Structure 1
Amino acid sequence: MTLIMRGRLRYAAASVAAILGALASGRGAAADPAPLFKDLLAQAQSNAPRLAEAAASVRQAEGLARQASARPNPTVDVGVENFSGSGVYSGANNAETTFSLSQPLELGGKRGARIAAGRAGLDAARARLVQSKADYAFTLADAYAQAEAAERRVALAQEAVTLSDETVRASRALVDAGKEAELRSLQAQAALTSARASLDEARAERTGAFARLTALAGSAAPFTSLTDSLLTASQSASLNRDIDVLATPAVLAAEAEREAAAKRVRIERIRAVPDVTVSAGVRRFSGDDSTALVAGVSIPIPVFDQNRGNITAAQGELQGAEARLSAARLDAEADVRTALFQIDAAQTRVGAATEGETTAAEAYRLTRIAYEAGKSPLVELINARRSLAEARAQTIEAQLARLRAEAGLARLQGRPFGDR
């Protein structure tokens, strides 16, 4: 058997080993796979801590809105006078006992203002929940895609190690046969060392990517593999690109918060109006066993406390909410323009990267054939392999950029990523 034939057999064996290794790795990781992305997103609605916080804020706002409609409680008062004193009041024969009921009356429309503010606060909490869900869907899609990309990088790195190891063996055989200089063997060994380091780095990145995905999803069991692909399933061609800048979740949430702040200003202004407390009751005179009615009205005099500090604070809160709304509108306009541009740019980038990968793969195939035939030096084979690895990495990065652009558009539209 000639040296060239032995080289071809080694490369064929290396390719088969790389494929079998990737399949074996996939079977080992499939013990605890992440669900399909749409299923994972649905499950996370009740498991993800980030969404649980926003949902808890809605429940808090619901409680405050219910409490806002409550009226002040009445007060029952029982009083005894003129007993256990001196003279005719030494006992209880001349005691006076009063039973009365007092009721605070809110003036100035305080209850109506509280109810309106409670409803506005609830609307703001619900708007923030919608925004949180849109932001979370974007973050989860990015984490899912990052985990997928990490898996692909590990497979590519494993393949590079396998082929580099075979190159070391082939170059050593050529050196021993006197057909290559010792330098070629050293170059091949250096390439193998670099490939192994890249594999270790890729595995570490995969571990981190799956840990982040598990944490985002709020899963008790760690994910180790995926059952869905977001990188290859592009939606660019069928995406609905209509976006109302004023209807993005961030703008709607800012508007709701501004409205709630305005309602709180009205509450603080009305609180400066003093409330009236009316009372009515019966008084019994033990001396002659007679009774009489009693009634009263009490009104605080707003001399020292006119609630000016709270009014100023509420007005400052309103000004801040209005500033945030203006910023949200400007950001939404910029984000919409950027998202539409990124969709087209990312799709073009994916096409260019895919074409570049195809070209690099063909160049590597031809260089390998030439090397096996003894017509090309080892350094050209190593360079061709490096170019192919870089082209594949660029394809992954381009697909990640496309995924982020599509998920970003869905976030601006306020819809779960994956829905057309």
Structure 2
Amino acid sequence: MSTLRIWCERWLALALCLLASPAHAQLTLPEAVARALDNNPFLQVFPLREQAAAARTDTAKQDPGYAIGIEAENLAGNGTLSGTDNAEYALSISSVIELGDKRKARTALANTRYARTALEHKAAALDLVATVTQGFVSALSLKHQILVEERALALTNETLDVISRLARKGAVPEADRLRAKAQQSQAELNLAALKAEYDAEKQSLASLWGEPQAGFNDVEGNLFSFANATDFPSLRRRVERSPELAILASERRMAEAELALARSQSSANINWRLGVRHEQFSGDSALTASLEIPLFSAARNRGEEKAAHAEFNSQSYRREDRELKLGARLYRAWQAFQQNQLAAKTLQTRIIPTLESAQSQT
């Protein structure tokens, strides 16, 4: 799990850089990611899936099994065949000789399925990191909104006090006081709604690492601390190495292995049997041997082989389509990040200072 965590944290550089010093009962983004990667219930499924895939690989490597047969003839009949005096008994062992490299093709398919399971594990971990990051940013945003709403409530309280004093003196109509009172009540409702949403978001975060109740009071981070922007071509190259495309590449290899297995079925297996036959009447015994080869195996398997070949050819187009869509999504996300970063810096360095200066002069 430690290697998986390191791999996922490299991709975390694509998200906001929300680093802060830890405090009592406060949760930072790196801590949230670490908890989720270590304890998320869904991720615990993948090691079991990998064990199952490894077990199926061991099964695929096995040669055809053997069978023992016992046969009895000419007994319990009528006339000369009554009783067991003229009975014949045969004891045999049989198996199958596989032709067409079926065992090799079967093993290759099982190996590709195991590799795909490992890639799905990595992709699920990356999706989990993205989910944790999104939830953490949402919670942190709600925390800041609560601070803003608390200031707004304090302002409405002050406004109500001023208008109430003026109303008692008759300087303003009673309707103004009632409107101020309504604004105060609305601010209280807004604050209560934000706090409830914040608690729900914290609970959703905690559920990602299997906790029924959030074991922290607050999330801690800086919404206005951005990671250095990476140029788009570098990000595009990362997408080409992403687990999602790796899974599609694995599916192509799996389709190729299924095609090889389908082709191997065109070669008929040889069923063989070797045994001993004993005649009760004469007391004589003799060896028996037989070979059995199915006819027209290639013709009967032609449809299955064509289907496997079509599925194999479709994998290239699926990967190309997915890569184009991922590239388009990445470009939109990269542009949005650039724009949001510019907007945040403009707010911090130009708009807010200008408004504060204007307020101080009025």
Sort the Cα spacing of 1:58 and 1:115 in 2 relative to 1 into closer, same or farther, 3 A: same
Alpha-carbon distance in structure 2 between the residues aligned to 1:108 and 1:253: 29
Alpha-carbon distance in structure 1 between the residues aligned to 2:158 and 2:277: 108
Residue 7 of structure 2 is matched in structure 1 by none
The residue type equivalent to 1:357 in the other structure is I
Q: Which runs of 5+ in 1 are unaligned?
A: 1-29, 371-420
Q: Is the 8 A contact 1:34 1:40 kept in 2?
A: no
Sort the Cα spacing of 1:61 and 1:359 in 2 relative to 1 into closer, same or farther, 3 A: farther
Is the aligned partner of 1:121 residue 2:113? Answer: yes
How much has 1:114 moved relative to structure 2? Answer: 0.8
Residue 258 of structure 2 is matched in structure 1 by 264
Deviates more, 1:137-146 or 1:184-193: 184-193
Residue 412 of structure 1 is matched in structure 2 by none
How much has 1:117 moved relative to structure 2? Answer: 0.9
Is the aligned partner of 1:288 residue 2:282? Answer: yes
1:255 to 249, 253, 278: 249
1:90 to 64, 82, 102: 82
How much has 1:265 moved relative to structure 2? Answer: 2.1
Deviates more, 1:172-181 or 1:276-285: 172-181
Alpha-carbon distance in structure 2 between the residues aligned to 1:59 and 1:34: 37
How much has 1:237 moved relative to structure 2? Answer: 6.3
2:66 to 74, 96, 100: 74
Sort the Cα spacing of 1:197 and 1:305 in 2 relative to 1 into closer, same or farther, 3 A: farther
Alpha-carbon distance in structure 2 between the residues aligned to 1:53 and 1:314: 30
* SS of equivalent residue, structure 1 residue 38: helix
Is the aligned partner of 1:172 residue 2:164? Answer: yes
How much has 1:162 moved relative to structure 2? Answer: 2.2
The residue type equivalent to 1:299 in the other structure is I
State the TM-score, normalizing by the size of structure 1: 0.71
User: How many residue pairs align between the two structures?
Assistant: 337
Matches within 5 A, 1:337-376: 337-355=331-349, 356-364=351-359, 366=360
Residue 153 of structure 1 is matched in structure 2 by 145
Sort the Cα spacing of 1:40 and 1:162 in 2 relative to 1 into closer, same or farther, 3 A: same
1:44-68 CA-partner distances (Å, limit 9, x unpaired): 2353244345555434432332222
Sort the Cα spacing of 1:60 and 1:326 in 2 relative to 1 into closer, same or farther, 3 A: farther
Q: Is the 8 A contact 1:121 1:260 kept in 2?
A: yes
Q: Which runs of 5+ in 2 are unaligned?
A: 1-22
Deviates more, 1:184-193 or 1:248-257: 184-193
1:142-174 CA-partner distances (Å, limit 9, x unpaired): 101111111221222122212211210122213
Alpha-carbon distance in structure 2 between the residues aligned to 1:230 and 1:282: 84
Sort the Cα spacing of 1:305 and 1:42 in 2 relative to 1 into closer, same or farther, 3 A: farther
2:180 to 151, 175, 188: 188
Residue 234 of structure 1 is matched in structure 2 by 226
How much has 1:213 moved relative to structure 2? Answer: 1.6
Residue 8 of structure 2 is matched in structure 1 by none
Alpha-carbon distance in structure 2 between the residues aligned to 1:157 and 1:283: 95
Residue 9 of structure 1 is matched in structure 2 by none
Residue 297 of structure 1 is matched in structure 2 by 291
How much has 1:199 moved relative to structure 2? Answer: 1.3
Alpha-carbon distance in structure 2 between the residues aligned to 1:207 and 1:221: 10
How much has 1:324 moved relative to structure 2? Answer: 2.3
Is the aligned partner of 1:275 residue 2:274? Answer: no
* SS of equivalent residue, structure 2 residue 93: strand
RMSD: 3.1
How much has 1:274 moved relative to structure 2? Answer: 2.1
Alpha-carbon distance in structure 2 between the residues aligned to 1:113 and 1:58: 20
Alpha-carbon distance in structure 1 between the residues aligned to 2:230 and 2:320: 32
Residue 308 of structure 2 is matched in structure 1 by 314
The residue type equivalent to 1:218 in the other structure is G
How much has 1:336 moved relative to structure 2? Answer: 4.2
The residue type equivalent to 1:142 in the other structure is Q
Q: Is the 8 A contact 2:203 2:213 kept in 1?
A: no
Sort the Cα spacing of 1:361 and 1:210 in 2 relative to 1 into closer, same or farther, 3 A: farther
The residue type equivalent to 1:202 in the other structure is L
Residue 102 of structure 2 is matched in structure 1 by 110
Residue 140 of structure 1 is matched in structure 2 by 132
